[in-house]
A and B are shown apart, each in its own frame.
Chain A
């Protein structure tokens, strides 16, 4: 049974989780925090996508440890820096995934409104979060269509016929984006997004005891981490 936290608590978790990773003195501590994030994700009911990412993370850590042996060789260096970069970025992406996959867009918007964020930021942000997966989906479809027309969508094709390849990639993508904008804004206006009145939400949004406890717990962890930082560095 997943615990339902207030979306504001989840946003706070995202922010403070970032700080956890930033202040992590060693990679072992960082990996420990990743495990903690996994635990939180399981409790919140987003186990599956996060579990996959943690698997990738562990694999990358392994790769990093192994490739350190061959760091003198150019390919060992490539492998090592690749795994380093990915292990550096992955914990942050993990946090964002937890927030996005456990929060409905409407809840997220309501939370941001309650935090008094301007409509001018909330709407583009919510639309963007929703639309990023669609872009990558569109991209694969466009590539298939290009292959059907006999245009090579890879880097080689780009070198051979740069302008044609660019056009074939951008034009369908932007056309479909323009269409999505029309449809989405028609739907949003119908549902009253331009209404000046206070927005309401079906899901009751209250900061419960669990939320307070979780926030205090997180702050405590951060304080302990920063206090122990000097000990780790020396």
Chain B
């Protein structure tokens, strides 16, 4: 039994991403994009909750991400997914750093997931957490260059005192909390994804956790 498994792993190792894999990445990235926006938009439009946008964005796409990895399981799958999602965020007017960090962090996540042959849940989950952390970049920049951010906000006619008090009160703890929150939310999403994968998609024959994809 184990030799068969090894054989399957060896055969898969040689394979490059073929057309079907690329189409799979496209379809699942579309769902990931929609879920990122669904999760994030509620936070992004609110001044007090805006710092929690990455947390909201991380909450929903986990199961989709894990299913994508389980279906493709070839080198580059996470990188390409991150690249495509990053391009969408760039062209919908997000800060360009988000797109860059999507590419960089997904590439790192890809290496980590690859080290487990895309079969280890823990490593795939780490890859997903890295993927989700990309959204924090814009806030990290905001915190580093706060005066620029404030002046651009005041230009829009927003009450100066409100933002000053908000930023002054928030700056000490909100950045680490945001990052930790994003990690936890991504982890939760990945755990739900693991449960779904085991309970539903293995039974339906969409993926198998140990053997070859279908």
Contact = CB atoms under 8 A, between A and B. Distances in A.
B45 A86 contact: yes
Interface in A74-90: 77-78, 80-82, 84-86, 88-90
Interface in B17-65: 17-20, 22-31, 33-34, 44-47, 50, 63-64
Contact of A21 (B46, B93, B196): B93
Majority secondary structure, A binding face: helix
A124 B25 contact: yes
A25 to B, nearest CB: 9
Contact of B93 (A71, A88, A173): A88
Contacts of B84: 121, 124-125, 128
Contacts of A92: 91-93
A134 B87 CA distance: 19
Nearest to A84: B156
Interface centre among B17, B31, B34, B196 (most CB of A within 10 A): B31
A93 B31 contact: no
B34 A132 contact: yes
A217 B159 CA distance: 39
A68 B24 contact: no
B179 interface: no
B83 interface: yes
Size bin of chain A's contact surface: 35 or more
B47 to A, nearest CB: 5
A72 interface: yes
A164 to B, nearest CB: 12
A91 to B, nearest CB: 7
Given A18-B91, A93-B92, A132 B24 contact: no
A4 B195 CA distance: 50
B47 A81 contact: yes
B10 interface: no
A77 B33 CA distance: 28
Contacts of B71: 178, 181
Contacts of A173: 31
Given A80-B158, A88-B93, A96-B92, A170 B23 contact: no
B181 interface: no
B67 A174 contact: yes
B175 interface: no
A177 B31 contact: yes
B23 A181 contact: yes
A31 B206 CA distance: 48
A136 B23 contact: no
B80 A184 contact: no
Nearest to A138: B31
A189 B81 CA distance: 21
22 contacts: A18-B93, A78-B46, A78-B47, A81-B50, A89-B93, A92-B92, A120-B17, A121-B84, A123-B26, A124-B26, A124-B81, A127-B27, A167-B196, A170-B196, A173-B31, A174-B31, A174-B206, A175-B204, A177-B28, A181-B20, A185-B19, A193-B19
Interface of A: 14, 18, 21, 26-27, 64, 68, 71-72, 77-78, 80-82, 84-86, 88-93, 95-96, 119-121, 123-128, 130-132, 134-136, 139, 163, 166-167, 170-171, 173-175, 177-178, 180-181, 184-185, 188-189, 193-194
